[in-house]
Amino acid sequence: MNQLIMLLQQYGLGLVFFNVLALQAGLPVPAYPTLIVAGAYAAMGGNPLSALVAVGVLAAVIADTLWYLAGKRFGLRILKTLCRMSLSQDSCVRQTESIFQRFGPVSMMFAKFVPGFASVATALAGAIGLRYWMFVICDAIGAALWVSVGVGLGYVFRNAIDDAMNTLKALGHSGLMLILAGFAIWILVKWLRRYLFARQLRMDRVSVAELRQLMAKNEVNAIVDVRSPLSQAATGRIPGARAVDMNRIVESFDGVSVDGEVIVYCACPNEATAVKVAQKLKRLGFKRIRPLLGGIDAWIEAGLQVER
């Protein structure tokens, strides 16, 4: 804490600005420790809370605008790229689209409190063509809430923060090892979940070329789009594909024979959502079901038609 205060004394609001800017730009540099200590320092006569909030909001909006423009330029493909940097990449795309579908632009007001959602949500806003003035208003409100909570915690609980830091300092080497061990366990749990899910992903895929041949021979029993309605509306579906409600998968397949070929596709890393649905359908008795390699992106990149 003393070191952060010294940095705040030396660089002032600039430290807060660049720390928040780096985090919102996607760099793995936590900003809340700086915001909390800046709030505690404000109670000791440092920079006023209003200035801290204003600088934090400005930095967040600048970084988020870059993600917004990236989404506007590259479309929904940017979501897959962003989610590849996440430790929960297999649920990242679907989770972001589902939250945005449910709450709309208002979701950006709490996006920064949801791990892995902030950058993806701002890129999604650009990808779906949300008006920039609406984006800025919602994003600025969300940034103000997020920054205010950080500096507010430091301001109100400055004595408790100082006591915690002194305790860790008294522990010396053991305190540092305790922090590192906690971080290592968190990373290990995330990695273990990724490893177990990666084992589930090892199932046969169908290529775009093979799917076209099956469709030409009328050998496809069903083509299933498991993306969110938001994503389907933005990019369209493979001709003849049926949309599936992820919460009512059984009902969505009423009348579909379990004996024919079923192709499932999505738009997420490793065809993760498609694989999950495929495994559920296998448990329901479907005998031949495969995810589409590359998902809807591979279909579009092949120059093939989509229906809207």
* Tens digits of residue pLDDT in 28-81: 778 888 888 888 878 877 788 899 999 999 999 999 999 999 988 887 777 766
Domains of the chain: residue spans and CATH:
2-156 (no CATH), 208-301 (3.40.250.10)
The pLDDT score that the predictor gives to residue 87 is 46
Which single residue is written with the structure tokens 């939250």?
Answer: 99
pLDDT exceeds cutoff 80 at 22: yes
pLDDT exceeds cutoff 80 at 172: no
- CA-based max dimension of the chain: 76
Model confidence at 89, in pLDDT bands (50, 70, 90)?
Answer: low
Q: How far apart are CA 71 and CA 67, in angstroms?
A: 6
HSE value, Cβ hemisphere, 13 Å, CA-based, for 35: 29
Model confidence at 136, in pLDDT bands (50, 70, 90)?
Answer: very high
The pLDDT score that the predictor gives to residue 69 is 93
pLDDT exceeds cutoff 70 at 186: no
Q: What is the pTM of this model?
A: 0.62
Model confidence at 164, in pLDDT bands (50, 70, 90)?
Answer: low
Model confidence at 230, in pLDDT bands (50, 70, 90)?
Answer: confident
Specify the higher pLDDT residue, 115 or 59: 59
Which single residue is written with the structure tokens 């002194």?
Answer: 166
Pairing of strands 261-265, 288-291: parallel
Handedness of CA 165, 167, 169, 173 (dihedral sign): negative
Q: Which residues contact 76 (CB under 8 A, 6 or more apart)?
A: 124, 127, 231, 234, 235, 267
The pLDDT score that the predictor gives to residue 144 is 95
Specify the higher pLDDT residue, 176 or 95: 95
Q: Provide the terminal-to-terminal Cα distance of the chain, rounded to the nearest Å.
A: 55
Specify the higher pLDDT residue, 164 or 292: 292
